[in-house]
Structure 1
Amino acid sequence: MVPELPPLPALTRSEGELIDSYLEIVDLLGRINPSRTADTYSALRAAQALVGRAAELRDALATMHLRGESAFHHATLGRALRVLDGERRSSLVVVAPERAPGPPD
Structure 2
Amino acid sequence: MKLRPLDDKLVIKKIEKEETTASGIVLPSSAKEEPNIAEVIAIGNKFDTDEDMKGLVKVGDKIIFSKYAGTDIEVEKEEYTIIKFQDILAVIE
Report the TM-score, using the length of structure 1 for normalisation: 0.24
Structure 2 length normalisation: TM-score? 0.26
Higher strand residue share = 2
Structure with bigger gyration radius: 1
